[in-house]
Amino acid sequence: MTQTFDHLWSQFLTFLPNLVFALLIFLAGLYLAKLVSHLLEAALKRREASVEITALLSMTTRWTIIILGTITALQRFFDVTAFLAGLGIIGFSIGFALQDILKNFAAGVILLLQQPFKVGDSIEVSNYSGTVQAINIRTTELRAFDGRLVIIPNADLLANTIVNLTRADKRRIDLRVGVDYSSDLQKVHEALLRALQTVPGFLLDPAPMIVSETFGDSAIELRAYFWIDLSATNLFNARDEAMKRIKAEFERQEIHVPYPITTVILHPYPSTPASP
């Protein structure tokens, strides 16, 4: 009986340091998980991420650290390599089956962290352009400028070039204008500049530019380049106002915008001699 007790006591004394050390590792994992999740929440809130996304990423990070801490603590008692290998095989099978979902999930996390755009921004991506309605974990909802609701997988979105129209504080507009061949091009240039300078949001810097581009079929074609301040107007209104003011200025200066002209030459058929 005494020998059995001594043996158990000896095993307990051997087991006790591992138990204490494992408990410390587990408690340290809990503390680290709480700390990192709080830091992540604060970073996501500064980036104005949605509450749902913030909660999901914070919870995922916390439980990942807790699981790693638990595995490290259990390593003090037995070899978990075989156990983890079995989990790895199962995880690989599940990951292969859900690769598209996981790919879109990872892309959603990257979009939320990098923030190339946010809800309310106007963007162009792939063949679509519109206003961002929602950024979810797997998809992004885009309200196209023609009213369609486009749902784009985040992986496809991240793989394509994204043009953020909202974050530009100024934009360049280019207009093509045709004038009659009899027009004085210097006078046309001056008229175009006067008209453009009256457009709301027009910017002197960068300076506007008028380029005589080519000799068209029925007109000399010019291209006008000018910049607008997007805080004062938008692209569509500025283009519309520019067209109206150019037309009004051309009418005052008696500069004609010709209609396309097609010249048709008719050759008379030779008279056919009458048959006898």
pLDDT digits (tens, 9 = 90+) for 64-113: 888 877 777 777 665 666 555 555 554 555 454 446 667 777 777 777 77
Contact 242, 175 (CB under 8 A): yes
Host H or E run for residue 239? helix 235-252
Residues 163 and 116 sit within 8 Å (Cβ to Cβ): no
Beta pairing partners, 212: 222
Looking up tokens 């006591």, which residue turns up?
A: 9
> Taking the CB of residue 187, how many other CB atoms lie within 10 A of it?
13
Contact of 229 with 212, CB cutoff 8 Å: no
Please state whether the predicted TM-score (pTM) of the whole model is above 0.85.
Answer: no
What is the Cα–Cα distance from 6 to 12, expressed in whole angstroms?
10
Task: Say which residue the tokens 């595995």 belong to.
Answer: 71
- For 192-250, the pLDDT digits (tens) are 999 999 999 999 888 999 998 888 888 899 999 999 998 888 888 999 999 999 999 99
The helix/strand/coil state of 178 is strand
pLDDT at res. 272 = 58
Domains plus CATH for the chain? 15-97 (1.10.287.1260), 116-164 (2.30.30.60), 170-252 (3.30.70.100)
Buried b (16+ CB within 10 A) or exposed e, 25-56: bbeebeeebeeebeebbeebeeeebbeebbeb
